Amino acid sequence: MASSVNIPEFQETSLVILANNEAFSGSYDELEVWRSPGPGQPFQEITGETWSSARLPAAGEDEPPVAVAGPLVNVVGQRLSVIARNGDFSQIDFDFVGSGAVPLRDIALQITSQSGGRLHSYVDFNQQLVVESTVAGASAYLQILSTSAAVFLGLPTELPDSEAFGKERRIALQSGVSQYTFVDQLGSPTSSYKTRFRNSISGITSEFSLPFTGTQAIGISPSNLVTGFLSLVGNDGRPMAYIEVSVRSTFRGQLVEGKLIAGGDLVDSTNAEGYVEFELVRGQPYTLGIAGTNIVKDFTAPTDSSLTSFSLLDPAYSETTDYFAVRVPNIPTLARGSI
């Protein structure tokens, strides 16, 4: 039996992910997306090797090729309640029938048959009852509500363990493509995200990106934004990690899409690979500064829409003829003389 139910607030969130070709070409071929539901809560990957269903318990194994009967359980006459999403969210209540204690597999069959095609249940090799959604991907959702039947059946009843999400396939990286879109159908206003590269053959992964929010104001449409990146190495050729880099844009009263571009510093640090990037407004003049040096560089973010990323050190976007402009402060001094 299904009924409507109040569920946590979810909202479809579209992420525009910029990936620098120089950072992944030849080393990685996939992009992982991770989500945290709110401040202080852990990140979990919402992509995977393939599309997958929402499954509980999270440690439940795949369905065995030969059905497992499982132990005898006595939940006849008790109710199990589950929230599932199959197009729409609904609460599904299961009232188990039978006589006395029955094999766990019989309960799994009743869950499958009473769900109206929304859920599938089985007993895995560890004699554990497993419940999973019949839809896979980012739209799949499952939550076990707290009932006595859930406790007897060994299902989790407290958040976050009682909640599961389906997974999308990891994003395939393409040479020459540096902008990717990922739609999180079960995001929330408090969700934050991070990404990292993966080599699907070796399993080697890069460092995570800095966390970002899908709902944070971009203000300017993605077509008017471009990613500027920088890689630093030391005299020994090794990456220079955790070096502060700043990009400053002075206030010039420019309007983009009817919005005023205000000045201020964008400050970040290079990661363990000596890499850092900034999202910039096309056509806006900026000044690059690198901590520990007295060199700065004036440049203008490219307006060519075919470019989704560019090197902050590329002389093609410099506003000066020199690769770097060394700033000498204009400090008035007194002429030396004698009395």
> Would you list the domain boundaries of the chain?
2-165, 217-339
Q: Which fold has domain 217-339?
A: Immunoglobulin-like (2.60.40)
Confidence category of residue 118, pLDDT binned at 50, 70, 90 = very high
In this predicted model, which residue has the larger pLDDT, 324 or 230? Answer: 230
Q: How confident is the prediction for the chain on average, in pLDDT?
A: 85
Confidence category of residue 150, pLDDT binned at 50, 70, 90 = very high
Neighbours of 68 (CB within 10 A): 17
| 265-296 per-position pLDDT tens digit | 788 888 888 888 888 888 888 999 898 877 78
Task: Please report the pLDDT score of residue 3 as a whole number.
Answer: 44
| 154-194 per-position pLDDT tens digit | 999 998 899 999 999 999 998 878 778 888 989 887 889 99
Q: Which two tokens stand for residue 99?
A: 């006589």
Task: Please report the pLDDT score of residue 2 as a whole number.
Answer: 44
CA dihedral in degrees (203, 209, 215, 218; nearest 10)? -130
Q: Quote helix, strand, coil % in the chain, to nearest 5.
A: 10, 40, 50
For residues 47 and 115, what is the distance between their CA atoms, to the nearest angstrom? 26
Q: What is the mean pLDDT of residues 91-115?
A: 95
Neighbours of 192 (CB within 10 A): 21
Task: Provide the 3-class DSSP secondary structure of residue 120.
Answer: strand
